[in-house]
Structure 1
Amino acid sequence: MRHRYRVTLVAGVTAIASALLAAPARAGGSDHHTWTVHPGTGTIAAAVAQAHDGDTLLLKAGTFHDSVTITKSLTIRGAGWDKTTVRPPSSKAGCTVMGGVHGLCLFGATDSTFNPIFSDRLKDASVSDLRLTGFSGIGVVGFNTDHLSVTHVRSDHNGQYGIARFASTHSLFAHDSASWDGEAGLYLGDSPNGDSVVRDSWSDHSNFGIFLRDSTGLTARDNHVWGNCVGVMALNTGGEAPYDIPAGDYRITGNTAWANDKACPAGEDGPALSGLGILLAGVHDSVVRDNTVNNNKPGGPTLGSGGIAIVSTKSMHGTDPTNNTVAGNDAHRNVPADILWDRTGSGNVVRGNDCAKAIPDNLGWCHQ
């Protein structure tokens, strides 16, 4: 289930009329500037080209057609996701990776084969208050970032991910909405010691609502996920890149996962999946607590389904699940069970859940 991150990067700035980009205003007497950016084609890219670290780009209400690579510590803020919309340009120029055209690409330094140079991350960039839609790739993507913030962003109908970041630390996704995206609505992956949070967000009708992969120190809390194949997926694939370590130490708390009944067919990246609320797959030392997980039922063929599942990925070059805790959750009307364990691994603790059925059913995991 891994996208191999093989990248052909095309960076360019579209030539536009200078009237579409307002002159910068000095912000608060500092050396940082605020640029007012008007709707059009290539206007965001043009503003990025002129801006410096610490500057702010204010995107006015309207529709922008752009695909932009950003390597500066900028604040990019729209007028609200119901007012400022970013769509793909008519050409395929801009930020193109993994065969897709992406909206806003926030990238730290990389080597000649696009491996991250961790000593030179992109720091303190932020995107907020806008909508990105219709990209063949990802709406907002971060790579090798530190303290990337994506808040109050709607990203929908994109081919790969809604909002994603790879090989990054201290990220915050908050008050976002991702719908009808490809592999995942909200993705945090490939990040040892990631120390990142996705919270208070909505994700629906993608393969995975929230996808945490091959990382440590990630938190998903107080989110709402529905209509996906898997609501929240925490996955250890076994690692392929030199910066991967055994995935775990996730905190999945206070989320609501319901009616994740979309069917994902089997493919080269993994088995068929459908009807899973929260899935711990081969991870270690993770906590699933105080979630509400109801009415997750398969809508098609699937390797497994149910409310909260703990499974091994050893057969797919991953590991058995170890030392995970599932406690204090409310899980009902999930098929075939509210809590499932495939009997692999060790040290997994399930206690104090309000549920009706568990598999194996002889462990006394449910109380009502």
Structure 2
Amino acid sequence: MKKANIAHLACMAALLGTGLGAAPPTAAHRVHLVKPGESIQKAVDSARPGDTVLLESGTHRESVNVTTPGLTLLGMGRGTVLEPAAGTGTATTAPGAGSGAVKAANSCAAAGNGICVVGTKDRNVDGVTIASLTVAGFGKTGVYADEADRLTVRNVTAVRNGVWGIATERSVRGVFRYNTARDNGDAGLFLANTVKEEQGATDTEGTVVEHNRLEGNRIGVTVRRLRNLTVAGNRLTGNCAAVFVVGDENKPKAGLVTVRENLIERNNKFCPKTARLDALQGSGIVLTGADDNLVIHNVIRDNVGKSPLSGGIVVFKSLVGTTSERNRISDNLLKGNSPADLVNTEPGKGNTFQGNSCRSSQPAGLC
């Protein structure tokens, strides 16, 4: 860990001012500069709440575990790249790093993740920011958070990670803006209550997913067993499916998700069937097992496939038999989607299709 010199502090101030909308660091908040080859984990473990760990451009081969509230982990743009440690699959640490740092970092790496923001059931990690860097080639997830409150992930590029690009579980009030998630094995952005056990949907208390580019993933954005969340202004193309809002039979049910003003085009990559889900291709927005969602003012074009989930906007009968009810699909522009622009296989009550510009629907009459 080294203190930033004046030039780096000036760079830091500019990055914060333009990239994060925050004030320059004060004397009370230190900047810890990490060059490629130095230990990010050592700098993170030495930082105090409100500090910034600034990563120089270049390739850093390490996994990082963040538990300090209010910490900012900041790169210098896409040229700041975090990749797995060469040949080991575990994090590297510089001489002198404490055993706690090694254990935390290796735990994150052993799980296949690049950056981990991890709290506990009794104490969330509050106010962490990850920004302006690339995470690439990790076995599971580029950026992973569990039990996080007010996490911000901004201007992050998550590429070619084995499962998820950016993922959260059991987290609230998150902000995910201006990220690029490309060619990840499952979802580019994955937000869920938990994948480890059956639970009712979590109220995210207003999590926002805005202005991201999601390309070439299995699913662009998955919102699983959550409530009270907005997915807006994103561009999704080249995925097998663009947006999934998924619930199940547990209480409270998933729902109250707003999907608006997204551009969803040509999500026609083919993904084979899995143990949990049929093959995917040509799915724009899919709602299944979730209530009271609003899908409005989206542009959805040329999503074509032969999966049971294919189509522009699909309200799909839940695989576990849970109905989707009182969903409003309104004022969307749909064109060239197949088998239809609007598809409704859901027997649940109160789903409405109004004011959409489209040419085809299953059943007929929804346009």
Residues 246-261 of structure 1 correspond to what in structure 2 (within 5 A)?
246-261=253-268
2 CA distance for matches of 1:100 and 1:286? 33
Measured after TM superposition, the shift of residue 95 of structure 1 is 5.0
Q: Which residue of 2 aligns with 1:275?
A: 282
1 CA distance for matches of 2:234 and 2:106? 29
Q: Which residue of 1 aligns with 2:203?
A: 193
Q: Which of 182-191 and 161-170 deviates more?
A: 182-191
User: Which contiguous aligned blocks of 4+ residues in structure 1 show a shift greater than 6 angstroms?
Assistant: none
Residues 289-300 of structure 1 correspond to what in structure 2 (within 5 A)?
289-298=296-305
2 CA distance for matches of 1:332 and 1:148? 36
Measured after TM superposition, the shift of residue 237 of structure 1 is 3.3
Matched, 1:23 2:34: no
Matched, 1:324 2:327: yes
2 CA distance for matches of 1:233 and 1:24? 43
Q: Contact 2:288–2:316 (CA<8 Å) still a contact in 1?
A: yes
Residues 91-106 of structure 1 correspond to what in structure 2 (within 5 A)?
91-93=88-90, 94=105, 96=107, 100-106=111-117
2 CA distance for matches of 1:186 and 1:95? 24
Q: Deviations over 1:248-307 (max 9, x none)?
A: 000000001111111121121221121101111111000000000000011xx5223110
Query: TM (normalized to structure 2)?
Result: 0.85
Q: Which residue of 1 aligns with 2:54?
A: 58
Q: Which has the higher helix share?
A: 2
Q: Deviations over 1:96-125 (max 9, x none)?
A: 57974111000111xxxxxxx1x4100000
For the structure 1 residues 302 and 292, does the alpha-carbon distance in structure 2 shift closer, same or farther, using more than 3 Å as the test? same
Q: Report the 3-state secondary structure (helix = DSSP H, G, I; strand = E; otherwise coil) of the residue aligned with 2:348.
A: coil
| Match among 311, 315, 319 for residue 310 of structure 1 | 315
| Match among 155, 160, 165 for residue 162 of structure 1 | 165
Q: Report the 3-state secondary structure (helix = DSSP H, G, I; strand = E; otherwise coil) of the residue aligned with 1:159.
A: coil
Matched, 1:148 2:151: yes
Q: Contact 2:309–2:316 (CA<8 Å) still a contact in 1?
A: no
2 CA distance for matches of 1:98 and 1:68? 8
Q: Which residue of 1 aligns with 2:85?
A: 89
Q: 2:131 is aligned with what amino acid?
A: S
For the structure 1 residues 40 and 201, does the alpha-carbon distance in structure 2 shift closer, same or farther, using more than 3 Å as the test? same
Identity %: 30
| Match among 15, 18, 31 for residue 34 of structure 1 | 31
1 CA distance for matches of 2:363 and 2:271? 25
* Corresponding residue pairs, total: 325
Q: Which of 137-146 and 93-102 deviates more?
A: 93-102
For the structure 1 residues 343 and 319, does the alpha-carbon distance in structure 2 shift closer, same or farther, using more than 3 Å as the test? closer
2 CA distance for matches of 1:267 and 1:326? 28
2 CA distance for matches of 1:98 and 1:260? 31
Q: Report the 3-state secondary structure (helix = DSSP H, G, I; strand = E; otherwise coil) of the residue aligned with 2:40.
A: helix
Matched, 1:245 2:252: yes
Give RMSD over aligned pairs.
1.8
Q: 2:50 is aligned with what amino acid?
A: G
Matched, 1:265 2:272: yes
Q: Report the 3-state secondary structure (helix = DSSP H, G, I; strand = E; otherwise coil) of the residue aligned with 2:54.
A: strand
Measured after TM superposition, the shift of residue 318 of structure 1 is 5.3
Q: Which runs of 5+ in 1 are unaligned?
A: 1-20, 110-116
